Every structure is written in structure tokens, then in C-alpha cells.
Amino acid sequence: MSTAIAAKGKSLWSDAWIRLKRDRYAMLSLAIVIFYSILAIATKLEWVASPWDRVVGGAYAPPSFDKIELWGGTDIFGRSVLYKVIQGTRIAMSVGLVSSLISVPIGVTFGAIAGYFGGWVDDVVVWFYTTLSSIPSFMLLIAITYALGKGLTSIYIALSVVAWVGLARVIRGEFIKHKTRDYVVAAESLGASHFSKIFKHIFPNVSHFVIINLSMQFMSAIKAEVILSFLGLGVQGQPSWGVMIDDAKLELARGVWWQLAGATIAMFFVVLAFNILGDALRDALDPKIK
Amino acid sequence: MLTPMFQKLITTGVACLVLVSLVAGCTSKKKDPPNTVHLSISAKLKGLDPVNADDMYSGIQSSHAYEGLLQYHYLKRPYVLTPNLAESMPEVSADGKTLTIKIKKGVLFQDDPCFKATGGKGREFEASDIVYSWKRLADPKLTSSGWWVFDGKIVGLNEWHDESAKAGTSDYAKPVEGLKILDRYTLQVKLTQRSAQILYALAMPFTFVVPHEGPEMYGQEYINHAVGTGAFKLQEYDPNSKVVWVRNPTYRKELFPSEGEAKDKESGLLEDAGKPLPLTDKLVYQILVESQPAWLSFLAGKLDLSPIPKDNYSQAIGSNKQLNPELAAKGIKFAKEPQLDITHTSFNMTDPLVGKNKLLRQALSIGYDDVQYIETFYNGQALAAQGPIPPGITGYDLAFKNSYRVYDVAKAKDLLAKAGFPEGKGLPPLEYITLADSTSRQSTEYMQKMMSAIGVQLKVSTYSWPEFQASVKNKKGQMWSFAWGADYPDAENFLQLFYGKNGSPGPNDSNYLNPEFDKLYEKALLLQDSPERTAIYQQMVKIVVEDCPWIFGSHRLNMALTYPWLKNFKYHEFDHAKAKYYRVDPLLKK
């Protein structure tokens, strides 16, 4: 007797997860990202590396294993470099997170309406983001931080303003592709509104691009924060990897290498992890590469 | 994606750029004569107009093109004034109120297109040029930061200033009673009262001589030009990166001094005695805001002279306080001299919060540890200041101790509570304005650390040097750090920083105003150097210290390294045009 075994359909997400799990580097990267995130949260809650501005030794004490604070040596004022590196994680991750939270909705909305409606709406949006992206992004970042005053808030806003363009482009392209597909036409004939078609029907089918983009966005935001802080346009009075590298510019003459090492190692791993993870996510989530 | 056409365009563009820069690089290298002096400045420039040369950087630059009636002897110590554009030292009348100044004949302004009548050839300098230049200092439209040197001192000049301000335009043709041209080469200056400092003023860049043709032709752009009688002519000017000066071919006959201090002869400073100045054909100033590039350029032999940045101190100077053997082997010389200066953090006295709350200012002053700052930022090579007057100037009192400069966190917190902000509660973050380079950021961090230890938060804004100065002049911000170097060897130069009438845009940057202080200041102005005047100076110091418009910082040491091929370097506190005495020996520089 034969029974029809209804093969249980796998969703895009669970399918992607299975494929992602097979990629060892991706999983390692994910673990690193999770580790940094936990570290950032723990720092925010003052569980670790707090207070960072306490004097733990003499000025420019080299790394030693006597005390955990001294593992990374000390800076010009005798503060723990290890603590500063950990606190820098908080700043870097928060910049990535906040700028993504602002730029993703902007990118999705603009990309969706441009792709979906086409015509003059599309023209306006495309003109707008092309103009924006024609300005070298660092010039724009610097201009915005000058206009808004220096500090973390300005960095959040500046990065968000710059970052949504890439996502909007991708989403627009996908919407153009999807809007004539059968399921959308079917929804339309059942009387679905524009809003419902955009967000209920099409968006779930292109949302994996947001995840891929998010991972890349995080990475570039972290890099941008470091560069802006290095240029003196970033965070003020808080530990940032960029500020530490700026310090190193002077200190290396004294043979003090530990701030540079601490900041670059911390930055290297998180940027690398986000990069690998981003690639792996694209491979896993893009149905065409199956 | 780029289209092929675009790619081609870009490739061509890049190729062109590379070519242009190569050509430019080659030509500029080719042009440098072997005796070129290479120096650096650590701040961007705001302009070359002498009437606004209130900072050391623009003062030095404008002094290459412009000259004053007097100058300081390059070698003699203590510092003495000698005639420069003046034929001889001014004759002072018995009552001290009239100066008769004879000027040198045959002195030419540098050739410049602004001299239209002569087809670009510089004309002869005459007494009327001095009157014109000093009126510029009083011109309200130019908002000179140096007006204070003549404010209230020359008969009729204040009236001219006030009338110009009222009318909205300045009438340079209108005579000023106190500035009388006796003949083409003689000027008579009438002072409102006897002044002990007036002669020093004649050697300050503010009073340097500008021909009227220059400002008339260039207008507001004049800050980017330099037309004077000086030893050097401007060749290239980029206020953000480079200034190049070349020998002024029409410079008058001015000779290297033939006498100096006793030790000058053995140190070879008199070898060029009697030779015509300038000794070099070209002066190249690189603007290097960050200390490390400047230091590395010096080590590479691209700069002839360098200060020692704080992070390179141990690299340069050994524990025996002598130059490290590695540098000594290159023949590099090390000179260390106490500077007549004071670093300080100003409070904005016009600010409704910090300006009106003396206890708050005193609390912040006590809560700031300068001893540790000197150790961290000056490698211990400075003296913690107790008041505005540095050692080496009459009026400095070694025994005087400022009770608000004894670092004491508990006492600072106590005063803060008395000021109405227990533990800093209720006190908004104070706006602290500072410079954008790395060392300034570190020193700002130090300030933040000190302040947060007593419960005070700072809101930091960073600027470039010209922007920073503009912000201070516009009374923005509540606190900022500054240094003042003496313009002349008289304590009055430091005390005038607190004189009410010298408020912004003048040198009283904190806009401190205390009638009692002003009265004493005005009284001291009439006195010559005497125990009586010194006593008044010390009384004024006590008033300022109690009112605390500044957190007094330190008096620094000037530390300079020079390569053996740079000849005739001698530390000079006031002479901004000293590069005209420098000589490079091309044989030693190989």
C-alpha cells in the first residue's frame, strides 16, 4: 500500500541554517561575532572592564601577567589597555548596531517603493541615492560629523545616512523582479493593497538580502568608526580603537606598541568574522546558488 | 560599473596627475639653492597681515616680509632694542610724552604688482607709511587683535578709532594729532602719558610697516599677500601646508651683528659678523601639525631645526639630561633655555556660569594637578606656575605660592559644594574647546580625567588653530587652554592679559574684568622699572590669583635640536625674524 508521504517543505531560513552549519569557518565567525556581542553587552552593563578610566599602574607599563588589568599594558595615564580594548568593542558594536537599525528601514523602504512603483517614484529615488553615493563616502561622513558636532551620535547618524544606499539598490532590483511574478499578480487580483503587496507578499521573499547586507554593514560601520575616531572626529572622551591607534601614532616613538596591537587585533578578528559570515550568509541564503 | 569610456577617461586622468606631480616634484627640488633653510611650524596659519599677527606662528611668518622701527639685538642678553627701520633709537622728550623717530633713508618696499605707479617696482619707505600702518591697527573694520598696544596711548588715535567705528568707514586721510610727519623721514609721536612699554611696541609685529598700496589693491585678500621692507619675499603660500620665502633682492644693507655675549664668540656665533643679511637665499616652512611627522622629517635631515616632541624625549635625551650618543654622533646640537611663557586654562568670564561663580573656578583650579601634567606632557621640563609672571622677569616672586594651585581633591570637592554643586550635581557639562591634533586630544583627556575626579564633566569641541582662535575671540566655550609667550621683557606684558579694556578680540581672552586690578594696572603703566612698580605688579598678581580667571599651568623650557650645518642658531624669545641670521653650510650637509 502506498501512501503519499508529504515531504515536509523546508523554509528558506531552516534550509540556509543547515547549509551554514556545514561551513566551519562561518560557524567560527558566528561564534566570534556572538562573543563580541556578549562582550559589548557585558561592558554596557558594567560587568567587565569597568571602570576603564581607573589608574592601574604607571604610565606606559608594558604588558605583564601579574594582574588581569595589566595583560595589555597601560596607556599614557596608566589606564589598562586591555580594558580600553574591551570598552572599544562596546563602541564599535554599538556603532554597527545603531547605524544598521537606522539605515536598514530607510534602505528597505526606499528600495521597495522605487522598485515596486517604478516610473517617476523610481526616478526620484534613484536620482537621490545616486547623487548621495557619488560623493565619496568619507568626505560625506566628515562633512556630517562637522555639521552635527563631534561625538557618538553624529557617527551613528552619519553612518546611517551613508549606508542605506547599497541596500536600497539591491531591494529595488529584487522588487522589480518580483512585482510581476504570479504570486504578486494573484495577490493583486484578490484585492491586496499596495502596502500589503509590498510588505506582506514581496518583502518576506527578499528579506534575506537584509541579513546579508546587515553583516557587511556592521563591518564597514566598525571600520568607519575607527577611522573617524583616528581622525579626531569620532568619540570624545571614551575609549575607541581609533583613538587608541591615534595614541599609538605618538607612542610608537617610545617603543609603546601595545595600544596599537590591542586595538588592531580586536578589530582584525571582528572585521574578518563579519566578512566571512557575510559571504557565507550570501551563499546560504541565495536560492540561486543551491 | 564603470563603462569602458569612463575607465579610459579615468586612466588618462590618473596618468596626467602622476605626470603633473612628477614634474612639479622635480622642478621644486631643482629650484632649491643649497643654502636653503628648512623649518617647520606646528599650526595652520590664519594669515600674514601684521595687524593680526597675535600668535607666534603668524608673527614669525609676517616678520619675514615686514619690519618694525625697532628690533631686538640678536645676540645680546639681556635683550636690548636696536634700531631697525629707524635710523637711531627714538628721541624721548624730558616728560617722556614725545618721541621723535628718524627713519632710514633709501629703504625700499619689495617689488609687487600693487605698486602700479612704478610698474611693480617697490617704492621708498617714508614716515607716512608708519602713520598709515598704525592707523590700520586702530581701524575697527580690521578688528586687529593688536589694537591694545596703542589703545589709549597715542594722542588722537582713539578718537580716530571711535570716529571710524561710528562712521562705518575709516578715513585714513584724516590726521591724528599724536602722529605728526615732520618731514619725509621724521615722525613725531605724542603719547597721552609716559609709557614704559612704548618702545617695545615698536618691535612687535603688530606695528610693522605696511605700504598702503598693498591693502588697497588686495582688499580682504591681503592676508594672503606680504609686501613689506623685510629680508624675505613671499614665494609660495599655502596656509595649510607650506610657506616659502626667498631673499628679497632689494633688501637694504643690514649686517650681521658683530658683538654679543661673551660665550657667543667661542660658540661660533660671531663668525658671520658684518656679513649682509639675510644669509640664506631661501626659507622653506613645512606646516606639520602633528609632532611625529615633524620629528621624523628632522631625523631624516629634511628639517634643520626641531623641538623635541614629548614622545621622543627619551629617544633624544638620556637620563644624564644630555643628548643621546646616537644623535650627538650626527653632530646634532642641543640647546635648552627657559621660555618666558605661561600655559593656562582660561575660563570664559562672560559666561553666566563659570564667569560669575568664583568658588567654582577655584574648585576647578585646585582639582587640576599640574605636576603630573608636566611629568606626562613635558617630561618634567617645566615649572608649575603660581601666577602669570614667569621667572626671569622683574615681578616674579619665587616665594609666592598660589593656594588654588595646590592639588587637593578633597578641598576641590569642598569648594565645589560651596559653589552650589555638591559632587558636581546640578552642574551641566562645561564646554571645553581645544585643538584637533593628537597631543591636544591627550591633554584634553587629562583635563577630563582631572575634572571627572571631582565630579565635573566636560563637553569637548575640537578645532584647527585658526578656528580655535576665532572661537575664543567670539567668546564661545566656557574653558580653553592657551599659552602666552612674552612679547617683551616686562611683566606688564603678562598683566595686560587681565586688563579689562584688552578684552576680546584683544589679548584678555578670558575677558576678565576687575576695576581694582585695572586701576593698579593703569597706575603701573606710568611708572618706570622701580621697586614701587614691582610691588604693584605683585599686588595685581594676588588679585588675579584670588579671582581665578585662569587655571595657571606652567612655565616651559624651550628645547631645540639643530643639525651642524645650521649656523647662527641662538634661542631668542622675541625676534620673530631670526631666520634672516640663519645660514646653512652646504658642505656639511651632504
CATH number at residue A191: 1.10.3720.10
What residue has cell string 631625523? B299
Residue A147 contacts B, CB cutoff 8 Å: no
| pLDDT on residue B154 | 95
- Domain range enclosing A258: 15-47+74-289
In this complex, do B315 and A149 lie within 8 Å of one another by their Cβ atoms? Answer: no
Residue range A25-47: mean pLDDT, rounded: 93
In the predicted structure, residue A184 carries a pLDDT above the cut 70: yes
Q: Is residue A1 part of a domain?
A: no
Chain B residues with CB under 8 Å of A154 CB are none
Q: Tell me, rounded to whole angstroms, the distance of Cα B182 from its chain centroid.
A: 33
In this complex, do B376 and A243 lie within 8 Å of one another by their Cβ atoms? Answer: no
| pLDDT on residue B16 | 47
| pLDDT on residue B337 | 87
In this complex, do A253 and B315 lie within 8 Å of one another by their Cβ atoms? Answer: yes
| pLDDT on residue B11 | 47
In the predicted structure, residue A14 carries a pLDDT above the cut 90: no
Distance from CA of A29 to the nearest CA of B (A): 30
Query: Hey, is B281 helix, strand or coil?
Result: coil
In this complex, do B292 and A236 lie within 8 Å of one another by their Cβ atoms? Answer: no
Q: Using CB atoms and an 8 Å cut-off, which of residues 430-449 of chain B contact chain A?
A: 436-439, 441-442, 444-446, 448-449
| pLDDT on residue B461 | 86
In the predicted structure, residue A237 carries a pLDDT above the cut 80: no
Looking at the partner chain, which of A77, A232, A243 has a beta carbon nearest the beta carbon of B436? A232
Closest CA to B36 of B584, B570, B589, B587: B584
Q: How many CB atoms lie within 10 A of CB B587?
A: 8
Residue of A nearest to B376 (CA): A76
Q: Is residue A187 part of a domain?
A: yes
In the predicted structure, residue A277 carries a pLDDT above the cut 70: yes
Given the DSSP bridges, would you call strands B37-41 and B282-287 parallel, antiparallel or unpaired? parallel
Cβ(B286)–Cβ(B297) below 8 Å: yes
Cβ(A40)–Cβ(A50) below 8 Å: no
Q: What share of chain A is helix, strand, coil (3-state, %, to 5)?
A: 75, 0, 25
Give the number of domains in chain A: 1
User: What is the DSSP-derived secondary structure letter of residue A55?
Assistant: B
Q: Where are the domains of chain B?
A: 68-224, 341-557
In this complex, do B449 and A246 lie within 8 Å of one another by their Cβ atoms? Answer: no
Q: Report how far apart, in Å, the C-alpha atoms of B212 and of each of B123, B136, B215 are.
A: 11, 10, 6
Q: Using CB atoms and an 8 Å cut-off, which of residues 231-260 of chain A contact chain B?
A: 232, 236-237, 243, 246-247, 249-251, 253-254
Cβ(A249)–Cβ(B295) below 8 Å: no
Size of interface A-B (CB pairs under 8 A): 52
The complex's ipTM works out to 0.79
Distance from CA of A251 to the nearest CA of B (A): 6
Chain B residues with CB under 8 Å of A237 CB are 444-445, 448, 458, 460
Q: Is residue A57 part of a domain?
A: no
| pLDDT on residue B513 | 95
Cβ(A241)–Cβ(A229) below 8 Å: yes
Looking at the partner chain, which of B292, B458, B462 has a beta carbon nearest the beta carbon of A250? B292
Closest CA to A132 of A104, A165, A101, A160: A165
| pLDDT on residue A288 | 65
Cell numbers found for residue A44: 554596557
| pLDDT on residue B7 | 47
Residue A75 contacts B, CB cutoff 8 Å: no
In the predicted structure, residue A265 carries a pLDDT above the cut 70: yes
Residue range A5-30: mean pLDDT, rounded: 80
Q: Which residue has the higher pLDDT, B448 or A290?
A: B448
Residue of A nearest to B377 (CA): A76
Looking at the partner chain, which of A77, A246, A254 has a beta carbon nearest the beta carbon of B314? A254
Residue A15 contacts B, CB cutoff 8 Å: no
* Residue B475 dihedral angles phi and psi, to the nearest 5°: 60, 35
In the predicted structure, residue A7 carries a pLDDT above the cut 80: no
**Helix spans in B119-228 (H):** 127-138, 157-167, 198-201, 213-218
In this complex, do A149 and B461 lie within 8 Å of one another by their Cβ atoms? Answer: yes
Q: Is residue A69 part of a domain?
A: no
* Domain B341-557 grouped into CATH 3.10.105.10: yes
Burial of A188 (0-12, 13-18, 19+ CB in 10 A): middle
Residues of chain B with pLDDT under 70: 1-31
In angstroms and rounded to an integer, the radius of gyration of the C-alpha atoms of chain A is 23
Cβ(B133)–Cβ(B207) below 8 Å: yes
* Residue B473 dihedral angles phi and psi, to the nearest 5°: -65, -30
Closest CA to B145 of B5, B26, B50: B50
Provide the mean pLDDT of chain A: 88
| pLDDT on residue B334 | 93
Burial of B187 (0-12, 13-18, 19+ CB in 10 A): buried
| pLDDT on residue B27 | 47
- Measured CA to CA, the distance from residue B227 to residue B235 in angstroms comes to 11
| pLDDT on residue B426 | 92
In this complex, do B292 and A249 lie within 8 Å of one another by their Cβ atoms? Answer: yes
User: Hey, what CATH class is B68-224 in?
Assistant: alpha beta
